[in-house]
Amino acid sequence: MIIIIGKTVKQSEINLRNLMEPIHSNIAGNVHGGEIMKLMDNAAGVVAARHSGRNVVTARVDKVEFHYPIHISNLVTFNAKLSFVGNSSMEVFVKVLVEDFAKEDSAKVAATAFFTMVALDENGKPAAVPPLEITNDEERRLFEEGRERYLNNKKK
Ligand SMILES: CC(C)(COP(=O)(O)OP(=O)(O)OC[C@H]1O[C@@H](n2cnc3c(N)ncnc32)[C@H](O)[C@@H]1OP(=O)(O)O)[C@@H](O)C(=O)NCCC(=O)NCCS
């Protein structure tokens, strides 16, 4: 008998924090959108690797939105958590929060996106991952939305 044990969203959720420096900026002085996407991808990769216990690759990015500019010396938090899990694929919701490093203002949501990561086995082939244990209504809502995107992508 094989017993499949699920894992919760909280078990792999992370908050990566970065102080934005001149090296991250574009010529207008804002932090480059591509730099932010790279850090979002990193955060999604950590979550997916923690959930699966495997190497992962990025297969897709959905609904990338930049809501608020990020400047040099901003403190940026990349909150990343699983929204949906398929067989070998995992969708990670990444929310980017921005604040002035020297002030205690409330952080603003600067960007959001959904990253689909795929777990790979030792031969570089997709590998099954643990199911996701849903523990509250917000997680259920994200899971249902993620499943819809997953099924729509399968049809294409
Ligand atoms: C992602 C990759 C491993 C999928 O390999 P594949 O042989 O096509 O695998 P499958 O068709 O069996 O799909 C495996 C899973 O990935 C998902 N998947 C594959 N391509 C996808 C895409 N474009 N969008 C969303 N999900 C995708 C499938 O839905 C499936 O999910 P499931 O197992 O949960 O049902 C392969 O396309 C790849 O290596 N891509 C390059 C990844 C990469 O280099 N990323 C950038 C650097 S990390």
Between 103 and 114, whose confidence is greater?
Answer: 114
Q: Domain for residue 86, yes or no?
A: yes
- CA 152 / ligand 1 centre spacing (Å): 14
Q: Domain for residue 130, yes or no?
A: yes
Q: What percent of the chain has pLDDT over 70?
A: 98
Q: Which residues line the pocket of ligand 1, CB cutoff 6 A?
A: 57-60, 86-89, 116, 118, 126, 153-154
- CA 118 / ligand 1 centre spacing (Å): 6
Enter the tokens of residue 127: 């590998």
Q: Can you spell out the DSSP letters for 109-142? A: EEEEEEEEEEEE-TTSSB---PPEEP-SHHHHHH
Residue 109: give the domain boundaries.
7-155
Q: Domain for residue 89, yes or no?
A: yes
Q: Domain for residue 91, yes or no?
A: yes
Domain count, the chain: 1
CATH of the domain at 61: 3.10.129.10
pLDDT digits (tens, 9 = 90+) for 118-142: 999 999 999 999 999 999 999 999 9
Burial of 129 (0-12, 13-18, 19+ CB in 10 A): buried
Q: Domain for residue 134, yes or no?
A: yes
Q: Domain for residue 13, yes or no?
A: yes
Atom of ligand 1 nearest to the CA of 60: 24
> Do residues 96 and 112 lie in contact, with contact meaning Cβ atoms separated by under 8 Å?
yes
Distance, in Å, from the CA atom of 127 to the CA atom of 120, rounded to the nearest integer, reads 5
Q: Indicate the top mutation candidate among 88, 89, 118 to test ligand 1's pocket, ranked by most ligand atoms within 8 A of CB.
A: 118
Q: Domain for residue 2, yes or no?
A: no
pLDDT digits (tens, 9 = 90+) for 27-81: 888 899 999 999 999 999 999 999 999 999 999 999 999 999 999 989 999 999 9
